[in-house]
């Protein structure tokens, strides 16, 4: 039912990861995750320069129903957080794979992205 | 051991409408259809239709019915006129709440009471336990009725499309019995739990789906959509209506909850009278306040309220208000801090200032 683009990588915690050409990765939450959360009202994201290890909580997404932690799929340093989500948290519901990207990270180990689930493996968990 | 979830007479229609179903008070209920905020705004701007068939119903009749209800309820029932309804609490001897209810007077000796789903069995037992020598019959009708709430500024227009009942003649907290969408024996009352205009409709259980379909079909052109329990909670909280287990409970009395207007001390005797009078005269040790936050984070049930570094209360309900476009909630706050402008609430380690509101967020 929910969309799982073939070009992205995924975690079992419903984050998606996109490899960018400049070596950074972009991170967001999946269509399945936004549908399960319901109307998103707040997204709390880290500032650029913060570093996270794999699986560490990097932020919170809050919906009318509940607050959920966001887990960093890959170790690295945040180079940018999506400031648009401050004013338009509902983008998470409307464009989970587009306008509602959450952070861009410079990976500590670029090969780590290959260890994430591919679209078929992620779909199998839903 | 958990009991299997009950389903309302409208369950099949919820599935057909694509509702997200969740367990609530022992029932499998729709929490949302299209989305909580969209459903909330539909009720404020046009109309929404809620299945509230999980609510319980009990009929109390007999020569002593009015006197009996005066004795177990905080509000006055002997002065209620046939054709009218009244909101009331039912209290324990210590003033804690057994439940909040709406009592309808059908005739001199016949009353019909709407109960919270989570309390229905307890309430009926409580009534039976306190009958004593009163000449009353207490009839459990929970399984006989489906219940719909049609709420919003266009509710009357939409309801008039499926009934010939003179709706304009029903005053607030008044009701009529008649036919809706071909179903006879329906009770239509001008009551609600949203802060918008509208009706609550009790239907013979077997007629539930037929009436809901007729309303959704006729109301569609006027913006009517089905609404789940998620928006029901944000709507009632904007209107500052209490929810049992949150703003009122066995440990939170009507005096603490700001519902003193439902407690009639002119009655010589009713359960809880002495404890409630002590609270009303001396002031309760803690009170329920309504608040908003100038933030996007929601303060949820159980979050601690502080005055400086001193914990002085806890959040009872919290949600996002689509009308205010910010988080709102209620908290139980110790006496002496209720009017403080210095309160904060802890949300996952962040302290946010809490703005107390003395009026509901919707009229």
**How many angstroms separate the CA of residue A74 from the nearest CA in chain B?**
24
> Given a cut of 60, is residue B1 above it in pLDDT?
no
A22: CB partners within 8 A, 6+ apart:
none
Q: Pairing relation of β-strands B47-51 and B56-61?
A: unpaired
Strands of B304-307's sheet in order across: B350-353, B343-347, B304-307, B310-321, B326-334, B286-292, B355-357
% of chain A with per-residue pLDDT over 90? 94
Closest CA to A79 of A101, A100, A57: A101
Give me the mean pLDDT over the B178-188 stretch. Answer: 97
B338: CB partners within 8 A, 6+ apart:
B287, B289, B356
Cα–Cα distance measured from residue B233 to residue B184, given in angstroms and rounded to the nearest whole number: 30
Give me the mean pLDDT over the B322-333 stretch. Answer: 96
User: The tokens of A51 are what?
Assistant: 């570093």
Inter-axis angle of helices B229-238 and B36-45, to 10 degrees?
Answer: 50
User: The tokens of A8 are what?
Assistant: 């992205």
Domain extents for chain B?
Answer: 11-53+143-238, 285-357
Cα–Cα distance measured from residue B285 to residue B298, given in angstroms and rounded to the nearest whole number: 26
Torsional class of B309: left (φ above 0), alpha (ψ -120 to 50), beta (otherwise) = alpha
**How many angstroms separate the CA of residue B319 from the nearest CA in chain A?**
6
CB contact A35 to B (< 8 Å)? no
Does some domain include residue A101?
A: yes
3-state class (DSSP) for residue A68: strand
Cβ–Cβ gap B348/A42 under 8 Å: no
Does some domain include residue A86?
A: yes
- Specify the CATH class of B285-357 in words: mainly beta
The CATH number linked to A91 is 2.40.50.100
Minimal Cα distance from A85: which residue of B? B296
Of A38, A60, A67, the CB nearest to B36: A38
Of A44, A64, A86, the CB nearest to B234: A64
The predicted pLDDT at position B285 comes to 96
Q: What is the DSSP letter of B141?
A: -
3-state class (DSSP) for residue A15: strand
User: Quick check: B85 and B189 in contact, CB under 8 A?
Assistant: yes
**How many angstroms separate the CA of residue A60 from the nearest CA in chain B?**
10
Does some domain include residue A2?
A: no
C-alpha torsion sign, points B36, B292, B254, B246 = positive
Cβ–Cβ gap A67/B348 under 8 Å: yes
Q: Which residues of chain B have a CB within 8 Å of the CB of A67? A: 297-298, 300, 348
Give me the mean pLDDT over the A30-53 stretch. Answer: 95
Does some domain include residue A123?
A: no
Cβ–Cβ gap A67/B296 under 8 Å: no
Q: What is the DSSP string of B292-345?
A: E-SSSS---TTPEEEETTEEEEEEEEEEEETTTTEEEEEEEEETTSTT-S-EEE
Does some domain include residue A43?
A: yes
The predicted pLDDT at position A66 comes to 86
Cα–Cα distance measured from residue A105 to residue A20, given in angstroms and rounded to the nearest whole number: 10
Q: Which pLDDT band holds residue B4 (cuts at 50, 70, 90)?
A: confident
Cα–Cα distance measured from residue A90 to residue B337, given in angstroms and rounded to the nearest whole number: 35
> Given a cut of 60, is residue B95 above it in pLDDT?
yes
Q: Which residues of chain B have a CB within 8 Å of the CB of A38? A: 32, 35-36, 230
Cβ–Cβ gap A38/B230 under 8 Å: yes
Helix residue ranges, H only, chain B: 11-16, 36-45, 65-72, 120-129, 155-160, 208-219, 229-238, 273-282
* Residue B168: φ, ψ to 5°: -65, -20
CB contact A69 to B (< 8 Å)? no
Cα–Cα distance measured from residue B65 to residue B78, given in angstroms and rounded to the nearest whole number: 9
* pLDDT tens figures, B242-289: 999 999 999 999 999 999 999 999 999 999 999 999 999 999 999 999
Cβ–Cβ gap A64/B296 under 8 Å: no
How many cross-chain Cβ pairs, A to B, lie less than 8 Å apart? 40
Give me the mean pLDDT over the B156-182 stretch. Answer: 98
Domain that holds residue A48: 9-110
Q: Which residues of chain A have a CB within 8 Å of the CB of B32? A: 38
Q: Which pLDDT band holds residue B339 (cuts at 50, 70, 90)?
A: confident
* pLDDT tens figures, B105-154: 999 999 999 999 999 999 999 999 999 999 999 999 999 999 999 999 99
Helix (H) or strand (E) holding A123: helix A119-125
Q: What is the DSSP letter of B102?
A: E
Of B31, B298, B348, the CB nearest to A41: B298
Q: Which residues of chain A have a CB within 8 Å of the CB of B320? A: 39, 41, 64
Q: Classify domain B11-53+143-238 by CATH number.
A: 3.30.1360.120
Q: Which residues of chain B have a CB within 8 Å of the CB of A87? A: none
- How long, in residues, is chain A? 126
B57: CB partners within 8 A, 6+ apart:
B112, B113, B114, B115, B141, B142, B144, B145, B147, B202
Q: Which residues of chain A have a CB within 8 Å of the CB of B319? A: 64
Cβ–Cβ gap B320/A41 under 8 Å: yes
Q: Locate tokens 């040790």: which residue?
A: B285
Does some domain include residue A118?
A: no
- Show which of residues 89-108 on chain A sit within 8 Å of chain B, judged by CB atoms: 89, 93
The predicted pLDDT at position B2 comes to 62
> Given a cut of 70, is residue B227 above it in pLDDT?
yes
> Given a cut of 60, is residue A53 above it in pLDDT?
yes
Residue of B32, B293, B298 for testing the chain A interface, max A β-carbons within 10 Å: B298
3-state class (DSSP) for residue A64: coil
Does some domain include residue A103?
A: yes
Q: Which residues of chain A have a CB within 8 Å of the CB of B295? A: 42
Cα–Cα distance measured from residue B218 to residue B44, given in angstroms and rounded to the nearest whole number: 19
Overall domain count for chain A: 1
The predicted pLDDT at position B340 comes to 83
Cα–Cα distance measured from residue B212 to residue B230, given in angstroms and rounded to the nearest whole number: 19
Q: What is the DSSP letter of B248?
A: B
Q: Which residues of chain A have a CB within 8 Å of the CB of B230? A: 38, 64-65
Give me the mean pLDDT over the B166-182 stretch. Answer: 98
Cα–Cα distance measured from residue B357 to residue B271, given in angstroms and rounded to the nearest whole number: 31
> Given a cut of 60, is residue A58 above it in pLDDT?
yes
Cβ–Cβ gap A39/B327 under 8 Å: no
Cα–Cα distance measured from residue A78 to residue A55, given in angstroms and rounded to the nearest whole number: 14
Cα–Cα distance measured from residue A19 to residue A5, given in angstroms and rounded to the nearest whole number: 13
């Amino acid at each position: 039912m929910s969309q799982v683009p073939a070009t992205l990588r995924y975690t079992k915690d419903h984050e998606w990861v996109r490899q960018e050409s400049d070596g950074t990765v972009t991170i967001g939450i999946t269509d399945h995750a936004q549908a399960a959360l319901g109307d998103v009202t707040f997204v709390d994201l880290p500032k650029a320069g913060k570093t996270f290890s794999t699986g560490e909580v990097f932020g919170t997404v809050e919906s009318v129903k509940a607050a959920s932690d966001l887990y960093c799929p890959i170790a690295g340093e945040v180079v940018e957080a999506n400031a648009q989500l401050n004013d338009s948290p509902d983008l998470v519901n409307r464009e989970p794979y587009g306008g509602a990207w959450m952070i861009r990270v410079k990976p500590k180990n670029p090969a780590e992205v290959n260890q994430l689930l591919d679209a078929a493996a992620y779909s199998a968990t839903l | 051991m958990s009991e299997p979830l009950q389903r309302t007479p409208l369950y099949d229609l919820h599935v057909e409408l694509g509702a997200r179903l969740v367990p609530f008070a022992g029932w499998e209920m729709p929490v949302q259809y299209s989305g909580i905020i969209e459903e909330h705004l539909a009720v404020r701007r046009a109309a929404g239709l809620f299945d509230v068939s999980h609510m319980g119903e009990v009929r109390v009749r007999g020569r002593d019915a009015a006197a009996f209800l005066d004795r177990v309820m905080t509000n006055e029932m002997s002065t209620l006129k046939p054709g009218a309804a009244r909101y009331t609490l039912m209290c324990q001897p210590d003033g804690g709440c057994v439940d909040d209810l709406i009592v309808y007077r059908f005739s001199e000796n016949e009353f019909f009471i709407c109960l919270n789903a989570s309390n229905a069995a307890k309430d009926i037992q409580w009534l039976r336990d306190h009958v004593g020598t009163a000449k009353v019959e207490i009839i459990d009708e929970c399984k006989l009725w489906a219940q719909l709430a049609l709420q919003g500024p266009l509710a009357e227009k939409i309801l008039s499309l499926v009934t010939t009942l003179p709706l304009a003649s029903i005053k607030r907290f008044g009701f009529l019995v008649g036919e809706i969408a071909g179903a006879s024996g329906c009770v239509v009352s001008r009551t609600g739990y949203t802060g918008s205009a509208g009706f609550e409709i009790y239907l013979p259980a077997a007629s539930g789906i037929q009436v809901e379909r007729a309303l959704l079909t006729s109301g569609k052109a006027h913006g009517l959509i089905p609404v789940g329990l998620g928006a029901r909670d944000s709507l009632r909280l904007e209107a500052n209506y209490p929810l049992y287990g949150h703003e009122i409970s066995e440990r939170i009395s009507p005096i603490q909850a700001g519902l003193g207007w439902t407690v009639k001390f002119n009655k010589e005797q009713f359960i809880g009278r002495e404890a409630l009078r002590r609270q009303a005269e001396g002031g309760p040790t803690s009170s329920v306040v309504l608040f908003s936050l100038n933030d996007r984070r929601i303060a949820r049930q159980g979050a601690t309220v502080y005055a400086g570094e001193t914990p002085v209360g806890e959040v009872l309900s919290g949600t996002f208000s689509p009308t205010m476009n910010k988080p709102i909630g209620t908290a139980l706050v110790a006496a002496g801090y209720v009017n403080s402008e210095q309160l904060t609430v802890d949300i996952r380690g962040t302290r946010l200032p809490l703005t107390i509101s003395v009026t509901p967020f919707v009229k």
